[in-house]
Structure 1
Amino acid sequence: MSKWSKEELGKIKAADDLHISPFREDGITNGTPTWIWSVVVEDDLYVRAYNGQSSSWYNAALQQKAGRITIAGLTKEVAFEPANDSINETIDNAYRKKYHNSPYLSPMISERSRSATIKLMPRG
């Protein structure tokens, strides 16, 4: 797996327009883009499913382990892996900082959403 560049992380950190498209079951075709929140923590990119583990994009991401994201003018092929639970508090704090004025913050740092946290890594 490759790493995010500092330039990419800077753009991603400042944007809130991430669209995620896990592959469909064929492993080739990208699914319908879903707009979600993202945060950068320790040079890594994380996302959470608002509806927790019942979210269709989340389940597709876990099953296919790859897809595409579009954010801040970037389109990247990515790999998905479940986040390590030990970093959830740090991710919560990043959500609090980035989205502090949003009425959707509480659900995004709830146990439901925390249980559906994914780390995104650039592919190739």
Structure 2
Amino acid sequence: MTAWTPDELTRIGEAEELRVASRRADGTLRRFVTIWVARVGDDIYVRSAYGPDNPWFVRAQASGTGRIRAGGVERDVAFLETDAADADTHAAIDAAYHAKYDRHGPAIVGTVVGPQVMATTLRLVPAT
């Protein structure tokens, strides 16, 4: 795996939405799903707004790999689980989501912040 370039981090971090597709067992991509994205430092995170049974999340978690599109960037990625016990990281992710999306109102932002989404947080890492 490689690191995000500074340009990719900026473009993805500033994008309103990210499109994500997981890989099937045969290597082909599933359909892209539009979700929100948060940048924290040099990391990119996504969360399942509607719990661990959300189909895109189940598929991403099962496959472990896929592709994303955001801000003019398209990259193959690995989906890495985050440590639900890492309170500092999750607090920073919450803050990034609040800063970026609070204008949409507390009901919708509440689906991607707080303790209920810690277990559905994936870090996106560029694949080689």
**SS of the residue 1:19 aligns to:** strand
Give RMSD over aligned pairs: 1.2
C-alpha distance after superposition, 1:64-112 (max 9, x if no partner)? 1100001111111000111122111111011111111113111111433
Q: Which runs of 5+ in 1 are unaligned?
A: none
**SS of the residue 2:44 aligns to:** strand
Aligned position for 1:77? 76
TM-score if structure 1 supplies the norm length? 0.93
> 1 CA distance for matches of 2:117 and 2:26?
25
Q: CA deviation at 1:42?
A: 1.9
AA aligned to 1:65 is G
Q: CA deviation at 1:27?
A: 4.2
Q: CA deviation at 1:59?
A: 1.1
Whether the aligned pair in 2 keeps the contact of 1:53 and 1:112 (CA below 8 Å) is: no
Give the count of matched residue pairs. 123
Matched, 1:92 2:94: yes
Aligned position for 2:125? 121
Whether the aligned pair in 2 keeps the contact of 1:44 and 1:120 (CA below 8 Å) is: yes
Whether the aligned pair in 2 keeps the contact of 1:27 and 1:64 (CA below 8 Å) is: no
**SS of the residue 2:31 aligns to:** coil
Q: CA deviation at 1:121?
A: 0.4
Q: Which runs of 5+ in 2 are unaligned?
A: none
Aligned position for 1:33? 32
> 1 CA distance for matches of 2:68 and 2:120?
17
Question: Identity percentage over the alignment?
Answer: 29
**SS of the residue 2:27 aligns to:** coil
Whether the aligned pair in 2 keeps the contact of 1:40 and 1:46 (CA below 8 Å) is: yes
Aligned position for 2:116? 112
Aligned position for 1:16? 16
Aligned position for 1:42? 41
> 1 CA distance for matches of 2:26 and 2:9?
26
Q: Equivalent residues in 2 for 1:46-57 (5 A)?
A: 46-57=45-56
> 2 CA distance for matches of 1:117 and 1:111?
11
